[in-house]
Structure 1
Amino acid sequence: MTPDASKSRPHPALMALCLSLGVMFSVTTPAAEASQTMTRTQASAETLSSQQQAIPLIAAFMATSDMPHLNAALNQGLDAGLTISETREILVQLYAYVGFPRSLNALNELMTVVQARKQRGIADAPGREPERAIPVGDDLLAAGTANQTKISGAPVKGPVFEFAPVINRFLQTHLFGDIFERDNLDWQSRELATVGALAATPGVESQLRSHMLASLRVGLSAGQLRQVTEQLKKHGDAQTAERANTALAQALAASGK
């Protein structure tokens, strides 16, 4: 990586991926739907666990290439009990939203954090690798389409997919197939990460609103998402928190909550 790689613009294909996600969620119904069981017990339906609280911060600082704050957020997450595998998976997934350069730089930062903690005598739990076999071919398309429909609340349709059908196939086979079939990170955590990254990224407000709705569909409550906005306000910048708060208000209005 070159020193200024973290400032590179995401590849056009990745921007198209993010744009298509926003369109995808905007054409579906906002029915709330749980996805996978959380791996940890939450304090209540209105409160994020300590591990969950760290995820949007990790994502937001990754998206802005703010390495000092990312370092602190990674330490916060590991201190709270995120495993190395879970933390790594968050940074891997987010390449689809903020680009490979930022993902690679953030993974390098995680390596540095883990090594420094080891030298201080902290033994972080390695966590587990995905246990479920990832399907291939037509089975991968079927699994990804089912995941996409569950998160979206309905089969995905829209003019952009008629104009460029291949982008939906990429979404179904890669994002919702290859990535969402990896069972070492639950879907609530995946959405918390996406919300954090998009909130920190100017110009993608419609996608952020869509992922607030998706967060409700995978079982996060309005109270928990309000806590996300509070965390971003407390630890991030005012613009990031304002974008998150506006998107949440719009999502709650659209979902009738």
Structure 2
Amino acid sequence: MQTLYALDTQQVARGSDEYFTGDVQVRMLFPPTDHTSFSGAYVTFQPGARTAWHQHPAGQHMIVTDGTALTGTRDGRVITAGEGEVVWCPPGIDHWHGATAQAAMTHLVITGSRDGENVEWKEKVTDDAYRAGQPSTVTESSVQRLPAKTRAIVPIAAFTAQGDMAALGAAIDAGLDAGLTVNEIKEVQIHLYAYAGFPRALNGVATLMRIVGERKAAGRTDPAGPEAGPLPAGGDNLETGKAVQTRLVGQPVAGPLFDFAPGINELLQRHLFGDLFARGVIDDQARELTTVSALASMEGVEPQLESHVAMSFNVGLSHAQLADVAAALAESVGAIEAGRLAAVLASPPPTPG
């Protein structure tokens, strides 16, 4: 008798953090049976996601159904497989597989079992090993390296948004060495209250204060830099904020979301585009680099990341410069964060209106 595995009976689960890096979804299709010693599953990896090192006692076929798959072995070889291609991994071979940093990937895996076991998990794949296996898709002409001082903003913003204070301390130390002033880094933290929330912005300021104190105790004097300017006369930044928002977006902002909740746009105009942008210290380009770096380092905010990439273009940053932001994220923060930005940069720009 034949067996139907109905769609609503297929188990869907998120890939365990113990065995996967990044966002992975596993959809079991069929288990081993008394007559078959193999199982099947669809596995979807978001950009930058991959398995840990592992091996299969009875081997595994990987059939790519969407996107581009990477699979590497201990000897440093990495196979790149496209849609419709199949990779066979023999029994007992340590390997990993996953998506590129730029795009999601789904493959169908047919995994053999031996003595009731189908996988032996090992340690996670490091970011360095994963980056080394990336296909070369970026040419020299597609990247315009940012000045070291500007580039140093990227990990500072990313680690502030993630709440990783240990990594943030090292990034602040490197940023001061690269020429950022104390007030410029302070302004990055203040700006991020609107995107990462007051708790992480305050923790960021506290980390900056600690690093500056440690450097001073070691005999190093860091320039404070210009202070923030006064707010516009009258203390009402609504009109100022509307003008800044329109300049960044390229047109007056309207739409169903703000029709539904007009108060949130007024708060954006008064406090974000009004109060914050009126402070000075860092310019519009630095503020957008700060925002893009932070949003790329947070889960679930892809629509906002797409919007701020578009705003970055409107304030004069180039596609090549934003590609360097993605490269800086890959070097200093992680492949997943870089992949989020790279995926936006690889997508066609939205149609106006």
Flag whether TM exceeds 0.5 (same fold). yes
- Structure 1 unaligned segments of length 5 or more: list them: 1-44
Among 282, 287, 296, the residue aligned to 1:199: 296
Number of residue-to-residue matches in the alignment: 210
Mean alpha-carbon deviation: is it higher for 241-250 or for 196-205? 241-250
Is contact 1:57-1:73 (8 Å) kept? yes
Aligned mates of 1:216, 1:226 — CA distance in 2: 12
Of all paired residues, the percent bearing the same amino acid is 47
Matched, 1:159 2:256: yes
Post-superposition shift, 1:132?
4.6
List structure 1 segments (4+ residues) > 4 angstroms apart after TM superposition: none
Q: Secondary structure at the match of 2:144?
A: coil
Q: Secondary structure at the match of 2:279?
A: coil
Aligned mates of 2:197, 2:233 — CA distance in 1: 25
Partner of 2:286: 189
- Structure 2 unaligned segments of length 5 or more: list them: 1-142
Is contact 2:229-2:278 (8 Å) kept? no
Partner of 1:224: 321
> TM-score w.r.t. structure 1 length?
0.78
Among 206, 209, 212, the residue aligned to 1:108: 206
**Which has the larger strand fraction?**
2
Structure with the greater relative contact order (CA < 8 A, sep ≥ 6): 1 or 2? 1
Residue by residue, what CA displacement relative to the aligned partner does 1:146-186 show, whole Å, maximum 9, x if unpaired?
A: 00000000000001111111111111111111111111111
Residue by residue, what CA displacement relative to the aligned partner does 1:12-43 show, whole Å, maximum 9, x if unpaired?
A: xxxxxxxxxxxxxxxxxxxxxxxxxxxxxxxx
Aligned mates of 1:135, 1:86 — CA distance in 2: 24
Matched, 1:83 2:181: yes
Matched, 1:93 2:93: no
Aligned mates of 1:137, 1:107 — CA distance in 2: 25
What is the root-mean-square deviation of aligned Cα atoms in Å?
1.7
Matched, 1:144 2:241: yes
Letter in 1 for 2:336: Q
Aligned mates of 1:105, 1:133 — CA distance in 2: 25
Q: Map 1:1-257; keep pairs closer than 5 Å.
A: 46-136=144-234, 140-250=237-347, 253-254=349-350
Residue by residue, what CA displacement relative to the aligned partner does 1:211-251 show, whole Å, maximum 9, x if unpaired?
A: 1111111111111110000010111112111101112222x
CA 1:136–1:170: 2 relative to 1, 3 Å = farther
Is contact 1:51-1:80 (8 Å) kept? yes
Residue by residue, what CA displacement relative to the aligned partner does 1:113-168 show, whole Å, maximum 9, x if unpaired?
A: 00011111111110111235434355x21111100000000000001111111111
Letter in 2 for 1:118: K
Aligned mates of 1:182, 1:141 — CA distance in 2: 14
**Which has the larger helix fraction?**
1
Partner of 2:10: none
